[in-house]
Chain A
Amino acid sequence: MHRLSSLLLRTLIWAVILAMLCPVGWIVLTSIKPADISQSLPPVWSFTPTLRNYADVLTGSSYTSQVFATLIVHSAIVTALATLLALLTGIPAAYSLARIRFRGRKFTAMWILSTIMFPPAVSVIPVFILASRLGLMDTLPVLVIPYAAFGLPMVIWMLRSYVKQVPFEIEEAAMVDGASQFVILRRVVLPLLMPGVVAAALLMAMLAWNEFLFALALTRSAVKTAPVGISEFTNMYGTQWGDMTAAATVTVAPILVLTLVLRRRLVAGLTFGAVK
């Protein structure tokens, strides 16, 4: 009886999880299907896998205006810069909020947390107008600065909870040895924070890599990112299934790898350090 119910449970959970993975499986499957049969019904299940779609998409023989490989490069540059900016500003802020006692600290921490409620669809309007007035349309700063700002509350709150776990005695010992605050932060605290910093960086990178709204509104070609490029495989002639899924696989694969690598720290990051 007990064995039967546990077998049922096991079957059920496998069924649920395999069903959830279907869309991901479909992307990969369609991306390696020859383009002429990708849309045929009933779906063709036996075929010779081909990398033709990938070659088309990455070298630009598909119907889009830009080579998709270029968009991947844009995405990588924007993601790297936004992550760097968020860490450079977020780490000192997290340390300050966790360790230094001054008036307004608690209020500031709460204010930083409440900025996550600010919807990008609202901020994109003034940013769009300012960017076009200042001639910043389709440049790196109009993506990098907003992305860093969107990720900052997560970076700060998560690292703040990591700083609190660093025993204060270690810092005190360094202080007694005459080290300055900056040296303590860089030489003593930062190495101990590294697991948290890596997790925050990877989550920040996921956020920037997947962002769509700002990229759609503020870029044309010079810094157009991969998510916008993928959405353009759907046009008035319908969706190019093979091209779209190949582009999607290239875009999603690195993030899925990150998700798996990050698995243990994903919860801490997604809940701003509230759950460990």
Chain B
Amino acid sequence: MPGGAEARRAAYLGWGLLSPALVLLLLMTAVPTIYLVYYSLHHVDLLGPGTHFVGLANFRRVLSDPEILRSFAVTILFVALAVAIEIGLGLAIALMLARRLPETNLLTALFILPLGVAPVVSALVFRVLLDPAYGWIDYYLQSWGVISQPIDWLGDPLNAWIAIIGLDVWQWTPFVALILLAGLQAIPQDPVEAARLDGAGPVALFWHITLPFLRSFIAIAMVFRAIEAFKTFAGVEVLTGGGPGSTTELINLDLYRLALQDFDVGAAAALGFCFLVLLSVVMQQMLKVLGRNTDILEE
């Protein structure tokens, strides 16, 4: 370990190089949190002088509202379903892409295109394609005889859920598959050959060699995907707007509506604060998953 003066020099230099980035990050996390706490304890009057302290009234109001409580359930269910399906499907596709075909590069290139499409655009396209009157999906399903009546995709709660999960899966499965494909391509071939010579079939190979080796890659895909899924706004806002009713109303949509459309800033701040608490618990767990299954958090 270097001496005192040297250590001090390193500390100055280290924090000096970090400080512009830290200022920017604090500006977008700590500062909003302080304001959020302040607003959550006040009745906020944006236009006049009517802002006053109301204690925990906003929290009581928000946490006793069944619609808002439901948005927590909607958010958690959305993240769980989307991530689980994306991991399953992503693994299947990665396994297919890992077989070396002459056109593997082309396939992979085509396959990752959804990642680049702006969520607003993909949501709008899904909305148009799912339209019961003009949409191509209902039209072709009917003309191929799969269904007899057009399906009202966005007017029925269950169908709307299929639509928002389908949109997320379409957009983000390539992300999961790309990570798992990198994992599959890094599997050392010696143990695979040895097991094969010992008579292991493809299923045994998958369970005992491929899957254990992929564990860290699955953990990484799951963590990063879950974090992004919790932040989903554009896709669901444009596709269903939280409807029908508020059956697909994610917390993010609720926050937007409360604060920027109803201007009920106090309630929005209280809800935002509760969401932050939930997310920090989730983030702790995510970091634990990363720490236990991967070495990316190591020095």
Contacts and interface: CB of A to CB of B under 8 A. Distances in A.
Contacts of A181: 13
Contacts of A10: 101
Interface string A94-117: 011100111101101010111111
A191 interface: no
B207 interface: no
B233 A93 contact: no
Contacts of A230: 118, 120-121, 124
Interface stretch (A39-47, A50-58, A61-69): A39-47
Interface of B is mostly: helix
B10 interface: yes
Interface stretch (A127-135, A165-173, A193-201): A127-135
B254 to A, nearest CB: 9
A270 B283 contact: no
A125 B272 CA distance: 9
B113 A24 contact: yes
Interface residues of B, number: 96
A16 B93 contact: yes
Contacts of A119: 230-231, 252, 275-276, 279
B227 interface: yes
A59 interface: no
A6 B18 CA distance: 53
Contacts of B221: 271
B179 A126 contact: no
Interface string B206-224: 0000000000010011001
Given A119-B279, A125-B32, A92 B20 contact: yes
Contacts of A217: 256, 260
A227 to B, nearest CB: 4
Interface string A252-273: 1001101110010011001111
B17 to A, nearest CB: 4
Contacts of B121: 27, 227, 230, 248, 251-252
Given A92-B21, A275-B179, A123 B32 contact: yes
B227 A117 contact: yes
B118 A145 contact: no
Contacts, number: 271
Nearest to A233: B124
A239 B134 CA distance: 11
A11 to B, nearest CB: 11
B78 interface: no
B20 A89 contact: yes
Interface of B: 2, 7, 10-11, 13-18, 20-22, 24-25, 27-29, 31-32, 35-36, 39, 46, 93, 96-97, 99, 101, 107-122, 124-129, 134, 136, 139, 143, 170, 174-175, 178-179, 182-183, 217, 220-221, 224, 227, 230-231, 233-234, 237-238, 251-253, 255-256, 259-260, 265, 268-269, 272, 275-276, 279-280, 282-283, 286-287, 294, 296-297, 299
Given A101-B10, A115-B25, A239-B128, 20 more contacts: A13-B96, A23-B114, A24-B117, A89-B20, A93-B17, A96-B16, A112-B21, A119-B230, A119-B279, A120-B231, A122-B32, A122-B276, A123-B29, A152-B21, A212-B120, A212-B237, A255-B116, A259-B113, A270-B224, A275-B183
21 contacts: A9-B99, A41-B139, A89-B21, A89-B24, A124-B259, A126-B32, A129-B35, A129-B46, A181-B13, A210-B120, A213-B256, A231-B124, A231-B238, A251-B121, A252-B118, A258-B116, A266-B115, A266-B178, A271-B179, A272-B296, A275-B182
